[in-house]
A and B are shown apart, each in its own frame.
Chain A
């Protein structure tokens, strides 16, 4: 049953995700040609100031448009997968069909979660590749090896663990964090839609309430641990957190403490969110 749910979930979601990301690829190709054109232009018009000014304005506008398009694609992907699709398919009229299929609530959650996470990863990779394709030139290709070597040699100095271990651990945490974040949003939607009225408002309120409690707990943990920025789950905080290093622990211990704490926290939140979502979809389902 899970396989069939996945098949139909991909079929429905791909209808938006594939055109959206084809659009990204087209923007990238067109943008790349433009970059090539700008590079070749440099040698021609350097004496005509007013033309150069207009070219400068045009370049700026096109770069802005590109950045806005990237952000838009990222936001639409996240908004659609994590919120809109889950809500529309399971808690509006379509829910009458989905919830009368011979599938358990857990299978529905797993199917939605898997498709959402797969597309979020694909989205992240495609956006990164797009930016990379845009800035790529001969000297960057040449420098890339130095950058890569530098990354490998400096990583252990900063984090206290070999690069080959550190990067996979970061990626694992990012994955678990994405899964937990998605499940928490599912939980808020499922609880909010068990209300008799104002279901969307209730979902948003529950999310805000959750965020407040999470922030409060995180500050408490930070205060208690005395180590610095511990409790925030995002990867960024680890990079920044290292700057606050003042505990007297060595780098490797600090790294593993941070990672273990973050992983356990994400796992607890993810499992808790799954259990609550499942409960509200079976025992407290309230389609209007």
Chain B
């Protein structure tokens, strides 16, 4: 048959989703790396290992490159997310008077843009607190990163904000991981789909929980609970 209408991959609906999926999965992998570094904070060595790690991150050119990649991933994921949200809203100009979404889908799958927006706010604050202040701009010379982190998380409100963000991240991942795999077409049958769904749920619980553990530990430790 003759293909009368075709569009470049990335402007097609599937291509747009593909961009979301690839960047989303990429960012999920980034989370693992980030988490590995964070867990050094739990080491009872007064921050030596963590600060060494921070110094390495500052000085290694391959890390700079990957940081740029991660940053680009975030930017694409965010911009594409916003674009898709707008496009999808336009696909239904008149809404329903009564709509029981809960009967056919999970709330976190329907509210990816909301969880995404919350995570964006978190990301900005988070980057400012650590990445910009201490790494890029070095606004507080003489304060090592470990000290800065402990200082930040000894604040109840800051830790609470962080933990809430991790809960939101959990929901974002709970749908995001399986959605990305589906978009890539890897859920070849319902059995595989269920399997991927479970992996997604496991990631969604374990990764944010591990992230949240660090500030909670620091908070409780500085409050003398441990």
Do A and B pair up? The answer is no
Chain B interface residues (CB < 8 Å from chain A): none
